[in-house]
Amino acid sequence: MSQIKFLDCTLRDGGYINQWKFGRETVRDMLNRFSKAGVDIVECGFLTEQPKEESQSLFHSVEEVNALLPENSDSLFVAMIAIGEKEINPSALSDAGETGLGGIRLTFHPEEIDKAFCYGEMIKQKGYKLFMQPVGTAGYSDEDLIRLIKRINQLNPYAFYLVDTLGTMYGKLLLRQIILADNNLAPGIKIGYHSHNNLQMSFANAQKLLEYKTDRGIIIDCSASGMGRGAGNLCTELILNYFNHEYEGRYNVLPILEVVDKYITAISLSSRWGYSCPYFLAAAQDCHPNYASYLMSKQTVSVSAVSELLDQIPPEKREQFDKHLIEHLYQKYQSHAVNDMDVIDMLRQKMEGRKILILAPGKSIVAYHDQIQKFIEEENPLVISVNFVPHEYKYDLFFLTNDRRYEESAQEIDWSRTIVTSNVRDLPPEAVMVNYSALLNTSLYASDSASTMLLKLLVKCTVKEDVVLAGMDGFSDDPLSNYYAPDYAVSNYDIPLRTKNDEINVQLNKRAKELHLVFLTPSLYKIHSQKDED
């Protein structure tokens, strides 16, 4: 099995999880431990002209990489140039003979092929082993793959990769592409395989590839604890241990486990990766996993609705994430116009002359129960709950904005005091609706934040008295701390919660120019200026 090699890409692909902020001494130690484990090829990070911090596994030169490499190592150390993402012109690199970096992986999209081959020639001329790694070969037709391979043969790189970018490959497709590559690549060019674990197939496909009989060299990518963007990658420690047991005891898995224990586990506590429902949906629909996680993170649409929306993404837009496209499809899907003038007038009369208490589902409505109850008893506000039926408080109105919360609360809803936005489906005839699209916010991650949508509704109702906010705590990275009940907790799915908090805060301050907002319970949000204040 000497033709089998494993490449660990933790410091490069895993870096998408923590923005490559491993710390230089950590990078040095990880490289040393991967080497001690006997990993054949170790990827050190990106070579890029992009701005970087000293702590990142992003490098402006091969000399920066060389300073971190262990001495007397049998491992081949490589770095990646990603055309169109993290890119550096190879002409700026020192010759390979002047550094311990032995290879460069070059990744590119179909529209970047000409540039990739130009870069590839320069990389070879400088003496580096060249790894050609096209994005998304799982989506290539047989004809497209063979056409690319014929051009690859003219370049004659060290390795040519099959890449399952969207995590859609089952064993039969992998074997089909391996056979095509094996029978059409020039002798001596190794075949690499880089998988993503959306369908939990990375380990199974790697085993199938190990069973494939060929005299050609095979390289299989993996990362410690499977660390990688979205569903993650094949686990280095698992595949090396499997190889030791089933083929030959070539690797020392313990240093990999030390890397996981010392560094990776701590990262996983704040940033998750691995199999999840959104990543499965994305793979099933042959689209970038960020589309599914973006929709799921909204916590407003059912799984079937997410699948329906993914199906609407044009084929040419599926491989690369376009958040403006998916937001447009989402809002189009949600928007159902209704004439709500009579409803607005009814609410205006109900709210006239009364303070408003908004109950959002943050944890503080439990921790500050006595304070909230005292306010209700003393001030007699109009109490509006947002997307949940409060069992500990008497409420006047229930404001419902999405299918997910409708499904959760359906058995408890009193339709005589429920106001529902027009995007919610399968409502009973007595449901009272207001226009969803008219209440949307001008932001991306907080476009349909329920509490800020309610504030826009209160503006439409010309509320004059105080609007008091309880349970509007703000979002933290711990899903269990974001809601008053564990049943409401959902994964963040890599959505930048700090950005979401900032966008909600912007919307609150916009509404504060039209309403007098008061926080009754602690919140991450801050009001900078208020209606009627100088």
Helices (H), 316-368: 323-334, 341-351, 364-367
- Return the closest-CA partner of residue 223 out of 203, 199, 245: 203
pLDDT at residue 534, as a whole number: 41
Q: DSSP characters for 289-323?
A: HHHHHHHHHTT-S-HHHHHHHHHTS-GGGSSS--H
Q: Any idea what DSSP says for residue 408? A: H
Distance CA 55, CA 20 (A): 8
- Return the closest-CA partner of residue 525 out of 457, 463, 446: 446
- Return the closest-CA partner of residue 507 out of 443, 424, 458: 443
pLDDT at residue 488, as a whole number: 65
To which residue do tokens 């602690």 refer?
Answer: 522
- Please, are residues 164 and 208 in contact by the beta-carbon 8 Å criterion? no
CB atoms within 10 A of CB 368: 18
Q: DSSP characters for 500-520?
A: HHHHHHHHHHHHTTTSEEEES
Q: Any idea what DSSP says for residue 235? A: B
What domains are there in the chain, each with its CATH number?
4-270 (3.20.20.70), 277-334 (no CATH), 341-519 (no CATH)
Count of helix runs (H) and strand runs (E) in the chain: 20, 16
pLDDT at residue 495, as a whole number: 66
pLDDT tens for the chain, residues 1 to 534: 669 999 999 999 999 999 999 999 999 999 999 999 999 999 999 999 987 888 999 999 999 999 999 999 999 999 999 999 999 999 999 999 888 999 999 999 999 999 999 999 999 999 999 999 999 998 899 999 999 999 999 999 999 999 999 899 999 999 999 999 999 999 999 999 999 999 999 999 999 999 999 999 999 999 999 999 889 999 999 999 999 999 999 999 999 999 999 999 999 988 888 888 888 888 888 898 889 888 888 877 778 778 878 888 988 898 889 999 999 998 888 777 788 999 999 999 999 999 999 999 999 999 999 999 999 999 999 999 999 999 899 999 999 998 888 988 888 999 999 999 999 988 999 999 998 888 888 777 788 899 999 999 999 999 999 999 999 999 887 766 777 676 665 665 566 778 888 999 999 998 998 999 999 999 999 998 776 654
From residue 85, give the alpha-carbon distance in Å to each of 46, 88, 167, 472, 522.
10, 10, 20, 38, 41
Q: What is the 3-state secondary structure (H, E, C) of 23-77?
A: CHHHHHHHHHHHHHHCCCEEEEEEECCCCCCCCECEECCHHHHHCCCCCCCCCEE
Q: Residue 298: is it exposed, middle or buried by C-beta count within 10 angstroms (0-12/13-18/19+)?
A: buried
pLDDT at residue 62, as a whole number: 94
pLDDT at residue 490, as a whole number: 62
pLDDT at residue 492, as a whole number: 59
- Please, are residues 447 and 467 in contact by the beta-carbon 8 Å criterion? no
Residue 306 has φ and ψ, to the nearest 5°, of -60, -45
Distance CA 287, CA 167 (A): 9
- Please, are residues 108 and 134 in contact by the beta-carbon 8 Å criterion? yes
- Name the pTM for this structure: 0.70
pLDDT at residue 532, as a whole number: 60
pLDDT at residue 360, as a whole number: 93
Instruction: Name the strand (E) or helix (H) holding 467.
Output: strand 466-470
* Tokens at 489, concatenated: 């907790």
